[in-house]
Amino acid sequence: MLQAAIVAVVLPLSACESLKQGANPEIPLWVHRPGSVISLLSQRQLTAEGRNLDEALEAGRPTIDAAHFRVFVGSSDHGLYALRAQDSSSIWRFETVGAVQCEPLYDPKEDVVYFGSNDGALYKVRADNGALLWRFMSNAEIERRPLLYGGSLFFVNANDTLIAADPATGQMKWSQHRAPIGGMSIAGYSGVAAYEDRVIVAFSDGHVGAYDVRDGTQLWQPVDLSAEAEENLGYQVPKYFDVDTTPVVAAISSGPVAIVAAYAGGLFALDTSNGAQVWSNPRVTGVSDLAMWSQPAHEPKNGGPTIPAKRMLIASSGTTGLWGLNPEDGTEEWRQPLPVGGVSAPAQVAGALLVSTTRYGLFLMSPLTGQVIDGIDPGLGFAMAPAGYGNRAFVLSNGGWWLSLHVSPPG
């Protein structure tokens, strides 16, 4: 078993040194690990040897069932695994025909797991033993997490098709499709979000649409963010039209919005009622994942006035770094320069953000400032986003190593 590298404690950089480090992507601030709050609890080879030859990376994200101390994770070896959270031992493994790079959805009401595979199918299995309940063939890879909402199961495949299915039988209720733009997209696509009577999804041709959860009726004219990208780029045709991020629905002072990211055009907040643009930030390009971090109002440990509630929109970009933004207007509050190779979507652990990187291991960061709190480098590369619950986190490396981590509360 590989051993985790010793985490070095370093003194804070001077302001001048910090600027130099941030300006040089070969020596990013990420490699400096000021504390020692991340500990490696266990590490084991998970994937079946010789079965992950068709995929170079382990993508997606684990799903945690805290009530039963279980974790579910897909793998490039074509399997979905159920593991015990206490010791990372295996409970069961379900075999598919393709790599499983989808974040599973656990439904505690039925004690079942929904997940997609690169074989083009969506599966429903029992969480206790992995027994198959039904399989729906969509004819294109399914890598984004499904959504249970309003009595239906919603999911999107790589062919830009949104499908609503009966969660009990797997029968399709309705679908919506947009023709992808060949040769003009980044690998990846949007998942589905929901608000009130509608589901909201983005497509690789740069459009964002809203559909009635009951019958798929189009509720507002699809918004063309590729046109916005052209305007932001001085009317040059953008190289990539994609809107690959799953929308984030947020309540702001002007009303509920769906926040989406166009790869070349930046971030946009759209009114959930009609798709009208509320704000945009064209600087935040190359975004692959969005997440909302929130902190309730609370009393400080050492006394004093109440610390007000705080929210931060976190954007993960493969080209411009990790961003902390004000969801009210999209303005930048902080930006962390990229480590070479990129950064995953963040997981909330112990009140902070945990991200994985392809070259430097895992890092715990302050969601308020973007500062690195701690890091651990087990000598493995990561494309999968970690999953967190309380002080525990889990992630699968590109080489198929499963890591269980403990995070002490920062500060």
Measured distance between the N- and C-terminal CA atoms of the chain, rounded to whole angstroms: 31
> How far is CA 284 from its chain centroid?
17
Averaged pLDDT of the chain: 85
Q: What's the confidence (pLDDT) of residue 316?
A: 92
Q: What's the confidence (pLDDT) of residue 319?
A: 84
- DSSP state letter for 23: H
Q: How far apart are CA 193 and CA 327, in angstroms?
A: 17
> Which residue's structure tokens are 């499908």?
163
Each residue of 346-385: b (16+ CB within 10 Å) or e? bbbbbebbbbbbbebbbbbbbbeebbbbbbbbbebbbbbb
Q: Is the pLDDT of residue 384 over 80?
A: yes
Per residue in 299-335, pLDDT (tens digit) is 877 778 888 889 999 999 888 889 999 999 999 999 9
Q: Is the pLDDT of residue 283 over 80?
A: yes
According to DSSP, the β-strands at 255-262 and 248-252 are antiparallel
Q: How far apart are CA 71 and CA 46, in angstroms?
A: 13
Q: How far apart are CA 315 and CA 246, in angstroms?
A: 11
Task: Walk me through the domains of the chain, giving residue ranges and CATH numbers.
Answer: 1-61+336-411 (no CATH), 67-177 (2.40.128.630)
Please indicate whether residue 405 or residue 285 has the higher confidence score (pLDDT).
Answer: 405
CB 313 within 8 A of CB 332: no
- pLDDT level of residue 12 (50, 70, 90 thresholds): very low
Q: What's the confidence (pLDDT) of residue 22?
A: 31
Q: What's the confidence (pLDDT) of residue 358?
A: 86
Considering only CA atoms, which of 49, 3, 60 is closest in space to residue 383?
60
Q: How far apart are CA 25 and CA 340, in angstroms?
A: 6
CB 286 within 8 A of CB 263: yes
Q: Which two tokens stand for residue 67?
A: 């009530």
Can you name the residues that pair with 307 across neighbouring β-strands?
298
Per residue in 262-279, pLDDT (tens digit) is 888 899 999 999 999 999
Q: Which two tokens stand for residue 345?
A: 């979507």
Q: What's the confidence (pLDDT) of residue 286?
A: 87
Q: Is the pLDDT of residue 33 over 60?
A: no
Q: Which two tokens stand for residue 140?
A: 């294109």
Residue range 339-353: mean pLDDT, rounded: 85
Least confident range of 16-25, 123-132, 229-238, 385-394: 16-25
Considering only CA atoms, which of 122, 248, 240 is closest in space to residue 190?
248
Per residue in 158-215, pLDDT (tens digit) is 999 999 999 999 999 999 998 866 544 455 688 999 999 999 999 888 899 999 999 9
Tell me the range of 32-41, 148-157, 263-272 where mean pLDDT is highest: 148-157
Q: Is the pLDDT of residue 34 over 90?
A: no
Q: What's the confidence (pLDDT) of residue 6?
A: 26
CB 33 within 8 A of CB 9: yes
Q: How far apart are CA 385 and CA 188, in angstroms?
A: 14
Q: Is the pLDDT of residue 16 over 50?
A: no
Q: How far apart are CA 409 and CA 280, in angstroms?
A: 34
Q: Is the pLDDT of residue 86 over 90?
A: yes
Please indicate whether residue 80 or residue 231 has the higher confidence score (pLDDT).
Answer: 80
CB 121 within 8 A of CB 137: yes
- DSSP state letter for 11: P
Q: How far apart are CA 89 and CA 95, in angstroms?
A: 18
CB 193 within 8 A of CB 247: yes
> Which residue's structure tokens are 């023709």?
179
Least confident range of 9-18, 172-181, 252-261, 342-351: 9-18
| 362: enclosing H helix or E strand | strand 362-365
Return the amino acid letter for 67: A
Per residue in 105-120, pLDDT (tens digit) is 999 999 999 999 999 9
Q: pTM for the complete prediction?
A: 0.87
Least confident range of 99-108, 245-254, 304-313: 304-313
Can you name the residues that pair with 118 across neighbouring β-strands?
none
Residues 6+ apart with CB under 8 A from 297: 306, 307, 308, 309
> Which residue's structure tokens are 């000021």?
34
Q: How far is CA 346 from CA 44, 86, 98, 317, in A?
A: 23, 23, 26, 11
- pLDDT level of residue 231 (50, 70, 90 thresholds): low
